[in-house]
Structure 1
Amino acid sequence: MLMLNYSSFIIKKLSFGTVATVSLVGLVACQEMPQATKLRTAYIASEGLFQQEVVNIALEKLGYELEVKQLEPPTLHLALGNGDLDFSCAHWEKLYQEFFEKSGGDEKLERVGVIVNNTLQGYQIDKKTADKYKITNIEQLKDPKIAGLFDSDGDGKADLTGCNPGWGCESVIEHHLDVYGLRDTVEHNQGSYNALIADTISRYRQGEPILYYTWTPFWLGSVLKQTKDVIWLEVPFTDLPKGQEEWTKKDTSIEGKNLGFAVDKIRTVARKEFLETSPDAKRLFELVEIPIEDINAQNQLLQEGEDSTVDIRRHAEEWVEKNQELFDNWLEEASKLTS
């Protein structure tokens, strides 16, 4: 994040053995230097910061400065609606529909471009248990005997590694437990997802059955591989909570499997007023698209320990270098609309 303090910036020039110190303020009096526009943005989790940083780098090239925060989904959307943020690249179109509406909806906000298409969410179990007991649908966990296979704490209920409190997936999972009749047999374990999933992976490696919520793009898919290590569970029918009621089986299915969550897309969401005064930024948002495979590969680096904000910024810079021609095309197109 660039935070240049022009008023205190000092240029030192060495000339004929004499050090002349010149304040930049003095230079400005002789030469017009436009002040960079500062934009306020936010991401939700470290797994989504990579694509945000790619966009940030492009915006910096267009002359903007960025102030970046980490916020929970409801807070992020409310901040946009209240004018405390300008944009975010962490908006799941369908999953965050209710947050979008509660923050002013189309009157205050606008969704622009598609950074990642066909993102998935759902429930997975280990393939060994799935094959042995012929488990393909989460509804089968209504059977206490089946649910008991995934009981890791001895309370008789299946332990579902679930969603962080406050995330959009939380309301979907809680709704599913009710409409699929799973309250008596499934426990929704919540907290820090990364900590919970680390324990889940550990139990899998010890040969224990596992049940968990997950999504793509996410590094977990490169650790627990689909069809080799784990399988997606289907749901008996599509039924989603308030704000997502309009989605049907067609919206929640992919490759013939109904996963229960709407197949989604990650988009940029921004204040309308900001977009109206910054056509170059809007055009950039329309153009940016990052292959899901690239995000999965970057997320794997997080799992391997390269998970600081400095690491993630470097990952984004390396991606830009590898995709320089595409990146330059984005800038060229956006620059045509510089206000």
Structure 2
Amino acid sequence: MFRLKTVCSIATMMLATTAASMPALAQDNLGNGTEIIMAQPTWDTGWFHTEIFKQLFTELGYSVGDVLTLDNPAFYQSVGYGDVTLWVDGWFPIHNPYQSAFEGTAEVIGPVVSGGALEGYLVDKKTAEAMDITSLEDFKRDDVKQAFDRDGDGKADLVACPPGWGCELTIEHHMNAYQLNDHLNLIKAGYAAAMADAVAAYDTGSPILFYTWTPNWTVNELVPGEDVVWIEVPEVSLPADMADLADAATREGVEGCVNDPCMLGFPANSIDAVANSDFLEKNPAVRALLENVEIPITDVYAQNAKMNAGDDDIEAHATAWIAENRELVDGWLEAAKAAQ
């Protein structure tokens, strides 16, 4: 009888201890192997923060397999159906046209990259100041065209977008709207190679004019406000299917712009997560993580520069970033655990 009571008492104590420890164990592995199907865009400048999130979800106990690389329409349709769980590369408002594909079944959370996603035209700072260049309109001046004409065709050279990129259409629209076709020569070769030539020209002291977007390695190599400046468009003019985004083409507080607010000519975007609503409802820790994490865009620039230099081990880059920001990351993870 004594033995039975003792065994029962020990069993009771073990059950009590186990029950008391269950919340802690659940928080240490709260995902419990639940699968997250992540996607990433076709542009590799977004893969770094995708990998950071993948590793953070794994730390929470979720199972994340190989990330799917999808174009925009395929992702937004898939996340709406629940075939894909999420990605962290929604660009809004420029992705607004895709919202009908996931309205009511997925939602936008963000930003997940602080600092915003910009597009526009830049000029080396030295020449911009020396020649008083503040707008694309200035490239109608003969002295400016001559300074930026590297191939001798009488036009200023502009590193633009290769055929098939969305920005190609906007730039062509600008050329027509601002009557710049007789003044600018668009370089549409491979962007990385064309920008490498532009950087080499800059290093020799030659004037350069180029289009870029953020995050991108270019603004780590040529820093706005130090090496280059964002210039403005004469007025905001967008293709017809983007006309309702005109207000987003002027932005305040753009570092290195010739004016504030800065009339970039391209809609400025927020880089947000887009996740399936049903999954978020069942996994509040995932929602909390998406709501709390903000990766500085300057860190994305720096990683993109590593890739451009040939170091393409994105997994290692993300692991190192998490280690270097461990205290901040632990705060995000604790907030996620508390939400579950």
TM-score class, shorter? 0.7 to 0.9
CA-to-partner distance for each residue in 1:214-272, whole Å, 9 max, x for gaps?
Answer: 22333322322323332211111222234542344575132413222233221112334
Which has the larger strand fraction? 1
Task: Give 1:329's aligned residue.
Answer: 331
- Please give the residue correspondences for 1:173-192 in structure 2 after superposition, counting only pairs within 5 Å: 173-192=171-190
Look up the SS of the partner of 2:58 in the other structure: helix
Q: Deviations over 1:8-28 (max 9, x none)?
A: xxxxxxxxxxxxxxxxxxxxx
Counterparts in 2 of 1:251 and 1:135: CA distance versus 1, 3 Å? closer
Kept in 1: contact 2:76–2:102 (CA 8 A): no
Task: Letter of the 1:110 partner, please give it.
Answer: E
Partner-residue secondary structure (3-state), 1:85:
coil
Report the CA distance between 1:105 and its aligned residue.
4.8
Q: Distance in 2 between matches of 1:289 and 1:61?
A: 17
How far the C-alpha of 1:160 sits from its partner, in A, is 1.8
Instruction: Kindly state the Cα deviation for residue 153 of structure 1 after the two structures are TM-superposed.
Output: 3.4
Q: Is 1:151 matched up with 2:149?
A: yes
The one-letter amino acid of 2:101's match is: G
- The residue type paired with residue 325 of structure 1 is E
Contact 1:73/1:168, CA 8 A, preserved across alignment: no
* 2:169 aligned partner: 171
State the partner residue of 2:113.
Answer: 116
Match of 1:213 in 2: 211
Quote how far apart the aligned CAs of 1:316 are.
Answer: 1.0
Q: Which runs of 5+ in 1 are unaligned?
A: 1-33
Residue 317 (structure 1) aligns with: 319
Which structure has the highest helix share of the two?
2
The answer on 1:261 being equivalent to 2:263 is no
Q: What CA distance in whole angstroms lies between the structure 1 residues aligned with 2:68 and 2:104?
A: 24
Per the TM alignment, residue 40 of structure 1 is displaced from its structure 2 partner at its CA by: 3.4
* Runs ≥4 residues deviating over 6 A: none
**Structure 1 equivalent of residue 101 of structure 2:** 104
Q: Per the alignment, do residues 49 and 175 of structure 1 end up closer, same or farther by CA in structure 2, a change over 3 Å counting?
A: same
Name the residue aligned to 1:299: 304
- What fraction of aligned residue pairs are identical, expressed as a percent? 37
| Residue identity matched to 2:329 | F
One-letter code of the match for 1:290?
Answer: I
Question: What does the per-residue CA deviation read over 1:277-327, in whole Å, with 9 as the maximum and x for residues that have no partner?
Answer: 443322221121112232233333334432x2xx22111111112222322
SS in 2 for 1:246: helix
Structure 2 CA distance for aligned equivalents of residues 147 and 121 of structure 1:
23
The size of the alignment, in residue pairs, is 300
Could you list the per-position Cα deviations for residues 75-131 of structure 1 after superposition, in whole angstroms to 9, with x for gaps in the alignment?
544554565533211222123333x24x61534442112112332221011233323
Indicate if the aligned counterparts of 1:43 and 1:52 stay in contact, CA closer than 8 A.
Answer: no
Partners of 1:158 and 1:76 lie apart in 2 by 39
Corresponding residue of 2:17: none
Within the candidate set 127, 130, 149, 2:128 is matched to 130
Give distance in 2, aligned partners of 1:191 and 1:218.
18
Per the alignment, residue 289 of structure 1 pairs with 294
> CA offset at residue 171 of structure 1?
3.4
In structure 1, give the amino acid aligned to 2:88: C
Q: Distance in 2 between matches of 1:84 and 1:149?
A: 53
The counterpart of 2:192, out of the listed 174, 191, 194, is 194
